[in-house]
Structure 1
Amino acid sequence: MPLETEGFLTLEELKAQTKYPSEERFQKGPVAVIECTRQIPCNPCEGACNFGAIHIGEPITNLPCLDENKCTGCGMCVARCPGLAIFVVDKTYSATQGTVSFPYEYYPTPQKGQEVEAVDRSGKAVGKGTVVRVLNPQSFDRTPVVTVAVDLDKVEEVRSIKRLQRS
């Protein structure tokens, strides 16, 4: 069990422990993937979703549950999650690539068009990616959300990028 022994989830553990989006939903466009597995008092993601797609309810220690049919993949929940445990995956970006959007709290912030090294949940490099968007409005409270295009076979594994070097 890598979560207990290594500190990160495998894709198999994630699918077994959380309400993971169906392949049918992935084929409709961007959708949130919630990788929160600790029952702690937390609910900013629920309030961030204007579509009611994330539900925690009572008690506040419930794990967030995604209603994939209500999720538009807007990504408002990504920056609001203090645990950095929500991502948006789009398997429909192109015939050969998908995108992964994730919070990025390091400097320097990547720039659109930049080639980066994509990493998995353990921090291991899994391939190259290209930054297609960086969102950092004031409402995100200084947590940029970076979207990277990667090979389609990597979108369910990629969860960040290798930290960029300061110039």
Structure 2
Amino acid sequence: MLAQNGIPTAEDLARVRPTAARLAQGPVAVTECFQNIPCDPCYHSCKRQAIKPFADINDRPQVDHDQCNGCGMCLMRCPGLAIFVIDQTYSETEALVKLPYEFLPLPAAGEVVDAVNRAGKVMGEARVEKVQSGAKLDGTSVVWLSVPKDLSMEVRHFKIREVR
């Protein structure tokens, strides 16, 4: 499936998903990098060594979810925009999804957007909680979305409802 349409299969996602017990402990990085390419900035950015050393630069990143504190340094350094931070402890009903974003205009905190899945299908509404941007982020902004908890492992992008 991934090779034909760019959308990972349920099996692909199961291999990178943190356990339910780990998700219940707080923010954690999820690497949805499914291609063997020469890339390892995520490994070098992780001060906690939660991203395991690569045997070969073409390896895909492997996260030790128990070591990860969800700081997002790897997310900001991933040139493939393939890392997300999920916090299912955000509230009783909502999770926080931090995702890389390289488009303009940037959304504003408080704005309601359409949350979309990996295939671009609208899954529901999300609220922009925070937008991080600046020179330290190398041109990649990080948008924090609050989404219904049951969508936290599905929502991977969003659509701004109206262009300002």
TM category (shorter chain) comes to over 0.9
1:64-96 CA-to-partner distances (Å, cap 9, x unmatched) read 010111100011111210111000011111111
Q: How does the TM-score come out when normalised to structure 1?
A: 0.93
In the alignment, the residues of structure 1 paired with residue 161 and residue 73 of structure 2 have an alpha-carbon distance, to the nearest angstrom, of 24
Instruction: State whether residues 113 and 160 of structure 2, in contact with CA within 8 Å, keep that contact through their aligned partners in structure 1.
Output: no
TM-score of the pair, normalised by structure 2: 0.94
- In 2, Cα distance between equivalents of 1:42 and 1:164: 34
**1:123 to 1:56, Cα distance in 2 relative to 1, 3 A:** farther
1:123 paired residue number: 120
Cα distance in 2 between the residues matched to 1:138 and 1:118: 27
State how many pairs are aligned: 164
Amino acid at match of 1:5: Q
Aligned residue among 102, 105, 109 for 2:102: 105
- CA offset at residue 165 of structure 1? 4.6
CA apart distance, 1:135: 1.1
Aligned to 2:156: 159
Q: Which moved more, 1:80-89 or 1:47-56?
A: 47-56
Q: What is the deviation of 1:12?
A: 3.8
**Aligned residue in 2 for 1:4:** 3
1:164 deviates by 5.7
- The answer (yes or no) to whether the contact 2:45–2:74 under 8 Å persists in 1 is yes
Segments of 5+ residues of structure 2 without an aligned counterpart are: none
Equivalent in the alignment of 1:88: 85
Alignment check: 8 A CA contact 2:130 2:144 kept: yes
2:97 touches 2:144 (CA, 8 Å); kept in 1?
yes
- Structure 2 matches for 1:1-150, cutoff 5 A? 1=1, 3-15=2-14, 18-150=15-147
Q: Does the C-alpha gap of structure 1 residues 154 and 19 become closer, same or farther in structure 2, counting only changes over 3 Å?
A: closer
Give the partner amino acid of 1:67: D
SS at match of 1:112: coil
SS of equivalent residue, structure 1 residue 129: strand
Secondary structure in structure 1 of the residue aligned to 2:126: strand
Identity %: 44
Q: Any runs of at least 4 consecutive aligned residues in structure 1 with deviations exceeding 6 A, and if so which? A: none
SS of 2:16's equivalent in the other structure is: coil
- 1:85 maps to a residue whose letter is A
Amino acid across the alignment from 2:18: P
**SS of corresponding position for 1:74:** coil
Unmatched runs of 5 consecutive residues or more in structure 1: none
